[in-house]
Amino acid sequence: MAPVFRAEQIGSLLRPEELLAARDAAGLAHVYTRTTVPESLQQVTEQAIARVVEQQQAHNVRPIMTGEYERPIYYAGFFENLQGFEMTQVPIPEGYRTGLPTTSTILRLGIKKRDACVAVGKIEHVHSPYLADWEYLHSLVPRDQWKECKLSMPSITWHHQHLRPGTAFTASSPYTTDKEYFSDLAKTFAQEYRILYEAGLRSIQVDDPAMTFFITDEMRSGCVTDGIDPDELLDLYIWAHNESLKDRPADLHIGVHLCRGNMPGSTHILSGSYERIAQRMFTGLNYDTFYLEYDTERAGDFQPLRHLPVGKNVVLGVVSTKETAMEQIDELEARVYEAADVIAHGQGRSRQEVLDSTLGVSPQCGFSSASRGRGIGMTEACMWEKLQLVQKVAERVWKSSSGSSSRS
């Protein structure tokens, strides 16, 4: 089946100044967990979401999303709202895995501690972390457009992959192995998917930039230093993702976004091709779609896409959210055809068959993964121009006035 949309977006949009000011006034400028907010901030947040939905409608940007305005950072809101987790401040680098690519970057930014969720009891889903967000979003669009909306969620492996081995759960929890921990955590993801589906959501994006850590020598040698086989750890994470996807509704589209970091000031975390993990990732992960970063040479070439099996989709992130320079549409179109040829060769199909069934285009990441994060010089006008450039590429390649494709 073709991607839900030929022209996509990855979710986070630049926050308006009034929303940032309201977060400052509430004392939440540097808080990166989802907490109870004062009513005044909630009102400003909802007003900002309503306006950005109107702008997406006006610019014909799909899928329609909240811009993640309700979150201080893209992964906030899920883990801290599950029973059994406790939020703690982890010192950097002492509390992190050896060789974690994130560590050197956040230390350069002057960050010495970071919030993390640690399991101190049995992990259980007691109420939906994101249902209210979805209900507010769908209240802003006609019911027949609910299928044109998307919600993002964090990766099941997020905290486990960052925390020093053996510290993702404590002795007070019922867990003695990583598989026990992930087995219960996967149930909470599956329950959240079901709740959102029953409320009318049909497309979810799971953000897992840390999966790309496994392409680096830094991460892999750090695992060895910690006494862990990096390939076994990657296999564990693929298993955990798939556990969370078990028994999901057949018409609930869930994709996974993998990039190389999108921190404030056009900062990336790592460079390198997907090659090292491509075959295991594309054939092993049971997601419908892979949202991949391909905006610069930092991401490598398209050759890893030869491992993509028939039946899975790729959305090519060929437009940068880090740089304000506008890409050339002819070059972007040519890159889509180049990627299609690599996939076609790997699958033994024609370029046209791959274009018809497999590909879409998008920016390489969101425009503001953290509420105050943005590329150097990035403005709202530039953001909308970039999103419309994505549409123009899709229109050229797929000869469609809307740049979207319905699933059948």
Nearest residue to 391 via CA among 383, 382, 399, 402: 402
Q: Is omega for the bond preceding 63 within 30 degrees of 0, making it cis?
A: yes
- Give the pairing type, strands 359-363 and 151-154: unpaired
Per-residue tokens: 150: 């998307």
Quote the CA–CA distance of 94 and 66 in Å, as a whole number: 35
- Split at pLDDT 50, 70, 90, the class of 296 is confident
Mean pLDDT of 136-151: 98
Residue 83 CB partners (closer than 8 Å, separation 6+): 121, 122, 123, 124, 125, 126
Q: Residue 335 above 80 pLDDT?
A: yes
* N-term to C-term CA, the chain: 7
Least confident among 143-157, 170-184, 225-239, 265-279: 265-279
- Split at pLDDT 50, 70, 90, the class of 261 is low
Q: Which amino acid, 183? A: S
pLDDT at position 341: 98
Beta carbons of 290 and 282 less than 8 angstroms apart: yes
Residue of 93 and 141 predicted with greater confidence: 141
CA 14 to chain centre: 16
Quote the CA–CA distance of 289 and 42 in Å, as a whole number: 33
Quote the CA–CA distance of 74 and 130 in Å, as a whole number: 12
Show the domains of the chain with their CATH numbers: 17-398 (3.20.20.210)
pLDDT at position 408: 29
From start to end of 141-267, where are the E strands? 151-154, 203-207, 253-258
Q: Residue 298 above 90 pLDDT?
A: no
Q: Residue 403 above 50 pLDDT?
A: no
pLDDT at position 370: 84
CA 344 to chain centre: 26
Query: Any idea which residue has 């089946």 for tokens?
Result: 1
Task: Return the half-sphere exposure (C-beta side, CA atoms, 13 A cut-off) of residue 38.
Answer: 9
pLDDT at position 158: 96
Q: Residue 111 above 90 pLDDT?
A: no
Residue of 3 and 282 predicted with greater confidence: 282
Beta carbons of 75 and 21 less than 8 angstroms apart: no
pLDDT at position 62: 96
**What mean pLDDT is reported for the chain?**
92
3-state SS assignment for residue 274: coil
Quote the CA–CA distance of 329 and 327 in Å, as a whole number: 6
Confidence (pTM): 0.93
Per-residue pLDDT reduced to its tens digit, 51-103: 999 999 999 999 999 999 999 999 999 999 999 999 999 999 999 999 998 88
Beta carbons of 230 and 224 less than 8 angstroms apart: yes
Mean pLDDT of 142-169: 97
Element containing residue 341 per DSSP (H, E): helix 329-347
Q: How many other C-beta atoms lie within 10 A of the C-beta of residue 99? A: 21
Least confident among 125-134, 178-187, 270-279, 384-393: 270-279
